[in-house]
Amino acid sequence: MRPPSEPLDLPSSSAESATAMRWTRSDDVVAHAANLSGWQQQYDQLSGGAFRGELAEVWFDEVQVFRERTSHAVHQTCRIRPDTVWCGITMTPDGSRIEGHVVGEGGVMVSGSGTEFELLTPDQHDIFGIVASRSALQTAAHTLGRPLSLDALSQPNWLSCDLTAHALLRRGLALLLGQAGNGDSCHDHAQARRFAQAAVLDTLLSVLAAPSADGHEGLSFDRRRRLVRQACDRVSSQPQAIPTVPELCEHLHVSRRTLQYAFETVIDSSPVVYLRTLRLNAARRDLLTGVAPSVQEAAGRHGFWSLSQFASDYRRQFGERPSQTLARARSVLSSSPPRPAALPVPTLQ
C-alpha cells in the first residue's frame, strides 16, 4: 500500500489530463499502470510470464470511458478524484475482487470516495470503466427521473444489476470505443461528444438506478399531446441545436419515462427516434446548402458520434448515402451560372 502521507498529483479536470482519445499498449506492468489518465495507480503483477497491457480511453466534458485489458493477474491499488464516481464492468464474470469481495455476474464495481481501493484481477482481464463527475451523474439522474444515491456509490464495493441492462451497457461501451479506435467517430465535434456523453450516462443509469414512479404515467391523452407539442416547439425554435433527450426532459420538467409514454401514445415513436430523425434532416439541409463541406462535418455538427451509423441511418431515412447528397449538391452549385454583376443604381441629380 502507498503510505497515506504521500501526496497525490491528481489532475483537476479532464482537459488537463488527457486528449479526447488515447490508445496505449505496454509490455511492462508498471508502465501500464501509469497510462490511465486521471488516476493514481500502482500495479503488482501476480502471475508469471511476459506482461501485455492495452488501454483505450475517450474523454467527454465530464465523463471518461475506457477499456483495459491485462494479460496477467494483477494487484491494483487505485485512487480517483474525490469529485468523481468510478464504475467498473468486466466483460465476463472473471472472479475479480474489489476490497476482497468477489464480483458476481451482472456486477458493477463502484468507488467514489476519493480514497484508495484495492482490486485483484485475474489473467486475461478485460474491463470497461466509466468515470463521471458526481455533479454530472446526479444531474442526469434527476433529469431522467432515476433515483440515485451517490452515498451508495461512494465506498468501494460492487452492485448486482439487471443482466439484460448489464449486457446492453457492455455492448454500448464496446461499440463506442471501437468506433473511436477505427476512425469511425466524430470525436472532434462538440455536438457529437455532447450526445455521446448523454448516451453513456443514460445507459449507465439504466443499470445503476430504477425509474421513479413520478405519477405522470396516468396523464390524460390531452396532457400527453401537450407535452409532445411543447417538445416539438422546443426543437423547432432552435433547429440547429436539437437537444438531447435529457435536455428535453429538463426543459419540460418531466422524467424520461413520462416523455417516452407521451411520444409513444401521441406519435407512435420514442423521443430518441424522433430527435434522431430531426437531426438527420438538419444534417441533410447542411449537405444540400453547402453549410457542411463534408459528411463528417454534417454528422458531427448534429451530434452523430458514429460515421457508419450516421450513414446507415441516413440511407434508411432518405434512400441515398450522405456522400451522394453531397456530390449532387456540389454538382448543382458548380453548374449554376454566375450571378450577373449588379448594375449601378442611378442617383438623382
Q: What are phi and psi of 103, to 5 degrees?
A: -85, 125
- Give dist(CA 147, CA 224) in Å, integer: 23
Band the pLDDT of 337: cuts 50, 70, 90.
low
Sheet containing 157-160, strands listed edge to edge, beginning at the edge strand earlier in sequence: 21-26, 53-59, 63-70, 125-133, 84-90, 107-111, 157-160
Least confident of 132-146, 152-166, 178-192, 330-344: 330-344
Residue % of the chain over a pLDDT of 90? 55
Which range scores top for mean pLDDT: 16-20, 38-42, 256-260? 38-42
The H or E element that residue 84 is part of is: strand 84-90
Amino acid at position 166, single letter: H
Q: Cα separations (Å) of 345 from 216, 338, 339, 342?
A: 63, 20, 17, 9
C-alpha cell at 218: 396516468
pLDDT at position 338 is 53
Q: In Å, how far are 58, 173, 228 from 180, measured between CA atoms?
A: 8, 11, 34
First to last CA, the chain: 93
Q: Give the model confidence (pLDDT) of 263-288 as tens digits.
A: 988 888 899 999 999 999 999 999 99
Diameter over CA atoms, the chain: 98
pLDDT above 80: residue 240: no
Q: Is the pLDDT of residue 319 over 90?
A: yes
Distance of CA 313 to the CA centre of its chain: 19
- Comparing CA positions, the residue from 157, 160, 1, 158 lying closest to residue 78 is 1
Q: By CB neighbour count within 10 A (0-12 exposed, 13-18 middle, 19+ buried), where does 250 fall?
A: middle
- Mean pLDDT across the chain: 85
Say yes or no to pLDDT of 217 above 60: no
3-state SS, residue 31: helix
Structure confidence at residue 181 (pLDDT): 78
pLDDT exceeds cutoff 80 at 3: no
Domains defined for the chain, CATH in brackets = 14-207 (2.60.120.10), 210-334 (1.10.10.60)
Assigned C-alpha cell, 68: 483495459
Q: Contact, 23 vs 55, CB < 8 A?
A: yes
Q: What is the pLDDT of residue 5?
A: 33
